Amino acid sequence: MSSPRECSFAIFDLDGTLINTEAIVDEAVVSIVKTMKKSISEREIFDAAEDCRGQRPLDASTELCEKLSLNEVVNPVELLTKCSEKLQWDGIDIPDMPGAARLLEFLKRKKVPMALATSTSAKELEKKMKSATVNVKSSDESKKKNLLEYFDVICCGDEVARGKPDPEIFHLAMERLGVKREDAGKCLVFEDTPHGVSAAKAAGCCCVAVPSLRREKFDMYKSADRVYHSLMDVELEDFGLPKFEDWREVKTVEFVAEDGDVLSASSRARKYERFLKLDQFLELTGPVIRGFGRGSKMLGIPTANLDVVPLKQQIDKLAPGIYFGFAKLLGENKKTGIHRTVMSIGYNPFFNDKRKSIEPWLLREFEEDFYDETLSVLVVAYVRAECNFTTVENLIERIRKDAKVCEEALDLDLVDGLDEWSDWFDVNR
C-alpha cells in the first residue's frame, strides 16, 4: 500500500469472508455436476467453482456451465435449481471465519458504520443466517450473536441489476450508508474473491482481500490494496480506522523484519514481537502421526504431527498460522508432564504444501520418538500468519524466534485465563 488511507466506513462481503460456506457449496456443486458429466474430475469441478466465487448464484452457474462445457446436459437455471435443492440451508450450522467475530465486534464498539454487500438473494440470506451466530466474549461471559446484528445496512444480490464484478452493489451500500460516490475512498471493503475485489475497486473503494482461493491463485488479487491471510491479520490503522487493542507485546523480544515478511506502515513502526490471546482456548487431541519427514532431518526441529482429518471441524476455527500453547502425552510418556509448544496450523508456504497440517513442536528434548502415542495440545495464542522464506536458514531462524515469543510470554505471565483449564494441566487425571 503506497499511501495512507482515511476510511470511515466498512463494507463486508459475506460468503467466504465472514462465514465459511464455500466448502459446503463446493461439495454440493461437485456432487451434482458429477452425476451429469462423469468424465469431469472432482479437481476440475473444484477449480472451476473457485473461479466462479463472489458472483450472484445465477451468474456463477452460467460461468460454471461455460467453463465445464455443461450446456449440452444442463442449462444454468437447472444447475442452480439442483444445487439449491441439494444445499437447503435450514438446520446447517454455518461456522464464522476465523477473526470475523473479533473484527465485527471491535468495529461496532468503535462506532464504525458497517454495511453487508452480498451476492446472496434476500430470501436465501434469511434462510442461511438463521444459524449463523458467533460467540462474543463480554466481560467474563460468552454469548451468541447473529452476524446480521452488526450491520447498519444490508444489500443483497437481487437488489441490483448487475452482480459482482460490477460495482453496483457497492454503490448501493454506499448510498445506504450516506456516502457520496466521490467519497468512495472512505469505504474499506473486505472481500475474499477476485470478482469481489474487482467490484470494490471499480466502485472507488479501498479493498483488502482475504483470499478463499488456493495460494497459487493469489496473483488474481493484485488490484487489492492489501492481501491478508486471514481476518486475524488485518491492520485497520493502515486505513485510518481504529487500531486493535488486544495484541500483547513481548517487550523482551525485539521485532525485526524477517525475510518473507510483508510489511505495512503499521508493521514498520513495531518495536517488539507480539501475540494475540485466543478468546477461547482450543484443545486438539489425537495420535502422533508421521509427518513430512523434514522437521528433524532438514530443520533440526522435530514436530509431533497430528492427523488433520478427525480434527478438521476444530481447526477450521483457527486461521492458518503460527500458534503457541501447551502439550501433554496421554500414553506411556504421560509422566513427562506438560510442555510448552509452538505449532504451525495450515499450509506451509516454504514447502508449498497442498494439504493442511498440524505440526506442534514440543519445546523440550525427548530421547525417542513417540509415534502413535496420544497427544493433547492446548492452543492458547496466535503469533503470526504463515509466510514464505527464500532460504531454509531464514525459516529456521523464524521458527526459533516463534519459540522465544512463546517462552518469554509465558515466563512473563502475559497469558491469563490458564487457571480456567486447571483440570487439563492436572497430569494425574
What positions carry a catalytic annotation? 13, 15, 359
Looking at residue 261, the DSSP 8-state letter turns out to be: -
β partners of residue 146: 133
Preceding omega of 194 cis (within 30 degrees of 0): no
CA distances from 88 to 93, 157, 190, 239 (A): 12, 18, 26, 38
Q: Are strands 247-254 and 338-346 parallel, antiparallel or unpaired?
A: unpaired
Instruction: Kindly provide the b/e burial profile for residues 321-346, where b requires at least 16 CB atoms within 10 angstroms of the residue's own CB.
Output: bbbbbbbbbeeeeeeeebbbbbbbbb
β partners of residue 382: 276, 323
Cβ atoms within 10 Å, residue 135: 13
Give the residue among 113, 93, 95 at the shortest CA–CA distance from 104: 113
β partners of residue 137: 142
Beta strands in 255-385 (DSSP E): 272-289, 305-306, 321-329, 338-346, 357-362, 374-384
CA angle 266, 244, 417 (to 5 degrees): 125
Q: Determine the Cα–Cα distance for residues 292 and 352; give it in Å rounded to an integer.
A: 12
Q: Determine the Cα–Cα distance for residues 107 and 18; give it in Å rounded to an integer.
A: 14
Looking at residue 145, the DSSP 8-state letter turns out to be: E
Which spans in 54-93 are helix H?
57-67, 76-87
Supply 227's cell numbers.
492481501
The single residue listed with the C-alpha cell 469431469 is: 40
Decide: 342 and 406 in contact? Cβ < 8 Å. yes
Element (H, E) at 227: strand 226-227
Decide: 122 and 159 in contact? Cβ < 8 Å. yes
